[in-house]
Amino acid sequence: MDRTLRKRLDARFGDRLTGPIRQRHDQTEIRVTPGDVVEVLRALHDEPELDFAVLADLAGVDTGTHMQVVYHLWSAKTTDWLRVVADGMPREDPRIPSLTGLWPGAEWMERETYDMFGIIFEGNRDLRRIYMPPDYTSFPLRKDFYLADDAARSPGGGVRHMEQTHAPAQASERVVRRTVKA
Domain assignments of the chain as residue spans, ordered by start? 3-147
pLDDT tens for 84-117 read 999 999 999 999 999 999 999 999 999 999 999 9
Domain 3-147: CATH superfamily, name plus number: NADH:ubiquinone oxidoreductase Nqo5 subunit (3.30.460.80)
Q: Is the pLDDT of residue 8 over 70?
A: yes
Nearest to 52 by CA among 63, 41, 64: 41
Q: Identify residue 109 by its one-letter amino acid code.
A: M
pLDDT of 159 strictly over 60: no
Q: Is the pLDDT of residue 165 over 60?
A: no
pTM of the model: 0.79
